[in-house]
Amino acid sequence: MFSIKNGGFSYNPEKEIFKNVTFSLKKGEILCILGPNGIGKSTLLKCCGRVMPMHTGEVFIEGKGITELSRQRLAQKVGYVPQAHKMVFPFSVLQLVLLGRTPHIPAYSRPGKRDIEIAMKSMEIVGIEHLKDAPVNRISGGECQLAMIARALAQEPSILILDEPTNHLDFGNQVKILHILDKLAKTQKITIIMSTHYPDHTFLLSCQVGIMQNGVVSLVGQAEKVVTEKSLEDTYQISIGVHFIKQANRNVCVPSYP
Amino acid sequence: MVSVQVRWVEKNMVSLGIVCIILSPFILAVISLFIGQYSLDPITVLTILFSPVIHSDPTWTEAQSNVIFNIRIPRILGALLIGGGLSVAGAVYQSLFRNPMVSPDILGVSSGAGFGAAVAILFSLPLLLIEGSAFFFGLLSVGFAILLSQIYKGESILVLVLSGIIMGSFFTSLISLVKFVADPTSKLPAITYWLMGSLSAVSMPDILFAFIFIVPGSLYCMIIGWRLNAFSLGDEEAGALGVDTRRMKYILILISTMITAYSVCICGIIGWIGLVIPHLGRMMVGPDNARLIPVSFFLGAAYLILIDNIARNATTAEIPLGILTAIVGVPFFAYIMARRDVGWT
């Protein structure tokens, strides 16, 4: 479904952000990318969706190299949700979500009835249809993130790339977003690639995990196998205990206080 | 049921509002035909206006018909096209650069064009060459700004705007230099007057060119309006939505530059309109460019016709437009801001 082969990127020749990144995902799988700040997670995600061009290697979607697809075709397959940001102009949530229809609408045209229906449906999926007329700069951070996800859904993508979707969100909203993403992967069979700073999230989703450090995605595999006390210590440079909690029926990460 | 009715009324009120906005410049244009320093009674104005269609013995003098056809009509059309064009350029730039404080001259076009005009006046060139020089230097200034931004490799909007500001201040200094060396009794006042903006010298051929440079470009901006909304998410995201951001950005910059450069060519630097009219439009119809850009055109057209009427009628001497647009506009804008929810807090 989605694969990346020998992916590499550098801003300047001396310092490579990442190289030889290779992994693949099946339809409806979720991949969480963990890694310390500034290691290049966002860059990798952008390269996966060709928001930025990769210098070596290639990304394949449904067996096709993405550089062979036109921008518009690609945008019909891949939805990209950046880290939360602020909109300058007071678009309504519906107008924001409708922008996701851009790759399906000819350049000199405007969204029609069907586009509005699809946008409304995307908002229902993430549960924000009641906000449709609210200006985007007056809604909360959590609602804004949901609106951005709805916008990506309106693209009707088969792959969703999200850059730290739980960033800046309170505890409840973090779990809510994860639950919605899980649901999208399971019911709509959307393949999801996301980055996160919380190893716990990978246990919650029980998903595929890639750990990024020193310019490579070193480990890829099921969360319970990849996210271990050793790999976490290597990644974050502090000792972190991974314990199974019976009441929650899953692993949790407990950082020790130095 | 009641709420359905209320919404129906609301929806139609909005449509009615838009119809009023679209009609306003044309109504103002017709009214403006009847007012001016040279007093003409309405009947004479009407008979002169219809003389090309209804042939009758002239009951008016040559001078009277001259006032209508060679002064009032070109001025009114000029105000309509330039007011509309500058507002469209402003609305496009504000969306493109994701910045509500941006005006059409952010990339240095006005300063460049002003310099072109000032130099041409300094060398006592004929009017046609003054206009040509202004247009050329306007485009040149923006061209340099784009080149400068590419030296930094990055294509970020911020670098482009910064380069524009740099080019703008460069040409502003050159304007000061030209003023400094200009003969203070004849050339200097002419340059100063030009830079402050006036429609008094507009002729019919000017209008023809204004039409060519402003109308097709504005129409293009109107039909591409919805797609322009994607830029409000940022260049990268617009790209991720399948928009060819680079191409679209340069096309829109070219169109806006042509509009603004030609405006400066025929009527000097008229600031303010391109900055504020789009805001006014946004307060009325919201930020969706598919609506905002057409609405800005008509609002700007109406506004400049109104201002030009004041410019030519308020006192016996012409008041430069550059002065009036802000003096009249600021209190009005302040009032609107205080009353309406602007929405970008």
User: Which CATH number does the domain housing residue A61 bear?
Assistant: 3.40.50.300
What is the mean pLDDT for each group of 10 consecutive residues in chain B (345 residues)?
Answer: 61 81 93 86 84 76 86 93 96 91 90 94 90 93 92 78 93 94 89 87 89 95 94 88 91 94 88 89 90 95 93 85 84 74 51
What pLDDT, on a 0 to 100 scale, did the predictor assign at position A210?
92
Tokens of B325: 């647009």
The contact set of A with B (CB < 8 A) is 46, 49-52, 70-76, 78-80, 82, 85, 87-92, 95, 99-100, 102-103, 105, 107-111, 135, 137, 155
Q: Within this chain, do residues A39 and A6 fall inside the same structural domain, yes or no?
A: yes
What pLDDT, on a 0 to 100 scale, did the predictor assign at position A93?
94
Residue A241 lies in a domain: no
| Between A217 and B290, residue with greater pLDDT | B290
Distance from CA of A216 to the nearest CA of B (A): 24
Q: Which fold has domain B81-338?
A: ABC transporter involved in vitamin B12 uptake, BtuC (1.10.3470)
Q: Within this chain, do residues A25 and A117 fall inside the same structural domain, yes or no?
A: no
CB contact under 8 A, B345 and A111: no
Cβ atoms of B177 and B170 within 8 Å: the answer is: no
What pLDDT, on a 0 to 100 scale, did the predictor assign at position B331?
84
Q: What is the pLDDT of residues A146-192, one digit of tens each?
A: 999 999 999 999 999 999 998 888 888 899 999 999 999 999 999 99
Q: Within this chain, do residues A13 and A123 fall inside the same structural domain, yes or no?
A: no
Residue A200 lies in a domain: yes
Q: How far apart are CA A121 and CA B144, in angstroms?
A: 47
Number of domains in chain A: 2
Residue A244 lies in a domain: no
Q: Within this chain, do residues A167 and A218 fall inside the same structural domain, yes or no?
A: yes
Residue A258 lies in a domain: no
DSSP character for A135?
B
What pLDDT, on a 0 to 100 scale, did the predictor assign at position B313?
87
ipTM for the assembly: 0.87
B337: Cα within 13 Å, side-chain hemisphere: 11
What pLDDT, on a 0 to 100 scale, did the predictor assign at position B2?
52
Q: Which residues contact A77 (CB under 8 A, 6 or more apart)?
A: A61, A62, A69, A157, A158, A159
CB contact under 8 A, B288 and A95: yes
Closest CA to B237 of A11, A148, A107: A148
The three-state secondary structure class of A210 is: strand
What pLDDT, on a 0 to 100 scale, did the predictor assign at position B101?
85
What pLDDT, on a 0 to 100 scale, did the predictor assign at position B16?
85
Decide if pLDDT at A228 tops 80. Answer: yes
Last residue of a domain, one of A106, A139, A156: A156
Query: Which candidate in A47, A89, A94 is best for mutational testing of the B interface (most B CBs within 10 A)?
Result: A89
Cβ atoms of A152 and A184 within 8 Å: the answer is: no
What pLDDT, on a 0 to 100 scale, did the predictor assign at position B1?
47
Q: Within this chain, do residues A65 and A188 fall inside the same structural domain, yes or no?
A: yes
Q: Within this chain, do residues A56 and A150 fall inside the same structural domain, yes or no?
A: no
Residue with tokens 């996701």: A100
Largest CA distance in chain A: 59
Q: What is the pLDDT of residues A77-105, one digit of tens each?
A: 999 998 867 788 889 999 999 999 999 99
Q: Within this chain, do residues A99 and A124 fall inside the same structural domain, yes or no?
A: yes
Q: Within this chain, do residues A34 and A105 fall inside the same structural domain, yes or no?
A: no
Last residue of a domain, one of A140, A156, A172: A156
Q: Within this chain, do residues A118 and A179 fall inside the same structural domain, yes or no?
A: no
- Sign of the CA dihedral B47, B71, B32, B12? positive
Residue A234 lies in a domain: no
Distance of CA A53 to the CA centre of its chain: 18
Closest alpha carbon within chain A to B234: A87
| Between B37 and A204, residue with greater pLDDT | A204
Nearest Cβ partner of B223 from A89, A91, A108? Answer: A108
Q: Within this chain, do residues A163 and A68 fall inside the same structural domain, yes or no?
A: yes
Q: Which domain holds residue A196?
A: 1-77+157-223
What pLDDT, on a 0 to 100 scale, did the predictor assign at position B14?
74
Q: Within this chain, do residues A152 and A174 fall inside the same structural domain, yes or no?
A: no
C-alpha distances in Å from residue A257, one per residue of A240, A241, A254, B247: 9, 11, 9, 53
Tokens of B160: 């482009």
For residue B334, which phi and psi values (nearest 5 degrees)?
Answer: -60, -40
DSSP character for A92?
B
Window 176-235 of B, Cβ < 8 Å to A: 223-224, 226-227, 229-230, 232-234
What pLDDT, on a 0 to 100 scale, did the predictor assign at position B345?
43
Which helix (H) or strand (E) is B131 found in, with range?
helix B127-151
pTM of the model: 0.89
Largest CA distance in chain B: 74
